[in-house]
A = this chain, B = another copy of it.
């Protein structure tokens, strides 16, 4: 199958491209390298050193003989997007190419506007390119579990069968997320559903939980194939950050009481989910949604698991929550769609956590402790504005 992976220089895009290539698909990748630009802007860096995309692609070919075609450009540039899809003629487009950090979108007005324009326009361009060039191309788009927020009813997979005043309907699941970034993905989901409805496109929206882990079988083959590992307060996902804090003897920083609960998923399951979605496409006109997570855990619970497995002293610090989010909320998520397609989840295990401790120890001298301190406050319209 010909698969184009957008945003393939990022944390998950890169391992996904390798996994699809390893599975025998004909893979092309695209990126504009803006994720590396955010590092320069914020003075942060991946804990694990990463090679340039060109070096990575060459190393993969050297090790496996498998070529990966590379496109360099920006999805908000429609000419680039159309030309790439015309050139490669994918059967599936996997779309990771969005600004993906909630805190980054909450820095200030400029970052909120950038995040929404970048994400919404990039996705609109992809939808139009598919509609005009080949409506049969299956779009596999990364959404986020954060789109749902924390409703007091069960979270279903994108749609809700409801009964109201004696009448029934199947509606898009009502969403109420917690940042301008998460909102950008809600906007995308609405635009995608409409494109499926009017043009008969096929789309899968993957509402992904918080991802943890750093290695897949493919990235572990060679240091040059490593993917990034972010532990800073802006781009770092929570479990990865706790691991780094534990290894450094720094307290694990839990925001608020930590009872806020999130869906989580192992990076190895992420790449497998994308493969399953590509190999089992949505029907023409279908806007299909999966909740791409394997278990729910509270933030305090994640901290406890990390602290428990760390072979040494580890403490937890509760910081004033810089985000505006509910604590002590209901959280019950349906996530059977991908399991029905064949996913066998890796649940969070001591083996995984131990491997993350080892990775962190190897690169411990690269850690910048200051980068872990939350600096972006949801309540001030400008970052750091007084509450």
Contacts and interface: CB of A to CB of B under 8 A. Distances in A.
Contacts of A176: 171-172, 190, 193-194
Contact of A125 (B113, B132, B168): B113
Pick from A178, A197, A198 the residue with the most CB of B within 10 Å.
Answer: A198
A151 B171 contact: yes
Interface in A110-160: 110, 112-113, 116-117, 120-121, 124-125, 128, 131-132, 151-154, 160
Given A160-B164, A172-B175, A124 B109 contact: yes
Interface residue tally of chain A, by bracket?
Answer: 35 or more
Contact of A180 (B171, B177, B191, B324): B191
Given A167-B330, A190-B186, A379-B199, A125 B153 contact: no
A220 interface: no
Contact of A168 (B152, B177, B179, B187): B152
Contacts of A379: 198-199
B174 A183 contact: no
A366 interface: no
Contacts of A132: 109, 381-382
A264 to B, nearest CB: 23
Nearest to A184: B187
A174 B172 contact: yes
A125 B324 CA distance: 20
Interface of A: 78, 108-110, 112-113, 116-117, 120-121, 124-125, 128, 131-132, 151-154, 160, 162, 164-165, 167-169, 171-180, 183, 186-187, 190-191, 193-194, 197-199, 324, 330, 378-379, 381-382
